Structure 1
């Protein structure tokens, strides 16, 4: 019958560990002689130097082949999305609801619009975008002729939104039953919404339900047009002062003062029937004024 292995004391174990750390008989440190430690250290230094060099080379090649001004792949962005302000987005829909008798309620809506329009201030636009653009034509730029190796951008002034600019009426109509909403089309680099001979894109709003509760719809600028001079967009690095063209829509609510509205950007190159993307080319929202 095999004998049981002798149980070692704590002192013996510490002695064995100390011998493993430094063995004076064999002249080894942690099982290796100093000469072998030098060899293995040199091996790993060389290994990690080569690995670091290969990684740096791969990153350099990647960055060298990338265009900093234009994404390599935009195949999923054939048609832009559309958004509405005040941006009171819920989980499934956009509901712009306010109480004309509650100052905090309608002031909340107007505050959102004032903050959104802050970059469009006329003075700021005059300073940031002094270039005199030719309206009615695409602003094609093949060179970086603006300061700091950038491209020019056309100014869009807050005052161009007329009665919905918040200048004459700081409440944007939310203290009564004539609220304004602002429609913005998202940016796509190098996107031209129409052929050169076609009419410019424009915003058209239709009442999906509650038609009897909307007496009138007004657009600012006139006819809800987005001037071609704001296209194409060349990217944030190329056009750091670019601002999206906007269209403001004012509704005159009557009756129950509520409606379901669809606003879409009408253009031959902008689709709006994609059931998988409810914001492609259009935006649907609920508008409701209560007392």
Structure 2
């Protein structure tokens, strides 16, 4: 019959652990001699140095092949998206409803547009772009980085260009009555040339999809509703840090029930607008309604 293993005392266990840490008979520290500890330490130091160097080399190779001014792949961005301001709506329903007799409702719409137009202040735009003369009606093509800080020049867009919808003449942007203003912005795509570079400027065209009888007429500011060619192409945020999107303001004259569903489309040969899966591609549809 096997004998039971003798139970070791706490003192014996501590003695065994002490001999494991340092064994004077064999001259080992935690099971290895100092020479072996030096060898294994040098091995792991060399191993991690090599691994770190390989990772750094891979990262350097990746960064060396990337263009810091433009993404390598842009195949998903065939046509620019279009948005409307004031953006007081939620993501699902673009509804611009306001009460003409309610100050908080008017202030909400007007303040949203005022905040949006802060970067377009005439004085600010002049100070940012005073060293470069743009040619209206011509593409702003640039092959070199001649602007300060190894960047490219951008063309200014002044708030005053929006005239009656600039907020300079009417700080309520028409929301104190039945002639509200909305601002249409086309999103940026690097190196995008509208109309395939033919020299034809894209323009905004707004139509009433519902409630035609409630829309008397529609005004555009600038008067022709175009995005001037001098804002194209866009070279990227790092290449053009002072770039601002061109805008088109639309003043909608409401009558009758003062409610309509409006579609504003950016018209150009190479800007699509019928993609079911991209509802904001080339166009934006919103509901506008004024109550009293």
Aligned equivalent of 1:122: 122
Q: TM-score, normalised by structure 2?
A: 0.95
Match for residue 275 of structure 2?
A: 274
Give the conservation status (yes or no) of the 8 Å contact 2:88–2:112.
no
User: Measured at CA, do residues 239 and 198 of structure 1 come closer, stay the same or move farther in structure 2, by a change above 3 Å?
Assistant: closer
TM-score (norm 1): 0.95
Equivalent residues in 2 for 1:187-202 (5 A)?
A: 187-197=188-198, 199-202=200-203
Counterpart of 1:164? 165
Structure 1: gaps of 5 or more residues: none
Please list, as runs of the form range in 1=range in 2, the aligned pairs for 1:47-86 lying within 5 A after superposition. 47-86=47-86
Counterpart Cα distance in 1 of 2:68 and 2:46: 34
Change (3 A) 1:22 1:154: same
Alignment length (residue pairs): 291
1:163-212, CA deviations, whole angstroms, 9 ceiling, x for partnerless residues?
00000001111122211111100111110011444531001111111222
Alignment correspondent of 1:133? 134
Instruction: Work out whether residues 179 and 251 of structure 1, in 8 Å CA contact, stay in contact via their aligned partners in 2.
Output: yes
- Partner residue, 2:175: 174
Q: Partner residue of 2:184?
A: 183
The 2-side partners of 1:211 and 1:11 are apart by 97
Task: Provide the C-alpha distance between the structure 2 equivalents of 1:205 and 1:4, rounded to a whole number of angstroms.
Answer: 95
Distance 1:211 1:21 in 2: 91
The verdict on how the C-alpha distance between 1:11 and 1:136 changes in structure 2, with shifts beyond 3 A counting, is same
Task: Report the aligned-residue RMSD.
Answer: 1.5
Measure how far apart 1:45 and its partner are.
Answer: 0.5
The answer for the alignment partner of 1:232 in structure 2 is: 233
Counterpart CA distance in 1 for 2:249 and 2:167 is 11
Relative to structure 1, the CA distance from residue 4 to residue 134 in structure 2 (aligned partners, 3 Å threshold; closer, same or farther) is: same
Aligned equivalents of 1:35, 1:273: Cα separation in 2: 75
Equivalent residues of 1:271, 1:280 under 8 A apart: yes
2:16 matches 1:10: no
Task: Name which of structure 1's ranges 135-144 and 184-193 shifts more when overlaid on structure 2.
Answer: 135-144
- What residue ranges of structure 2 are gaps of 5+ in the alignment? none
User: Relative to structure 1, is the Cα distance of residues 239 and 28 closer, same or farther in structure 2, using a 3 angstrom cutoff?
Assistant: same
CA contact (8 A) 1:93 1:284 kept: no
The ranges of structure 1 where at least 4 consecutive aligned residues each deviate by more than 6 angstroms after the TM superposition are: none
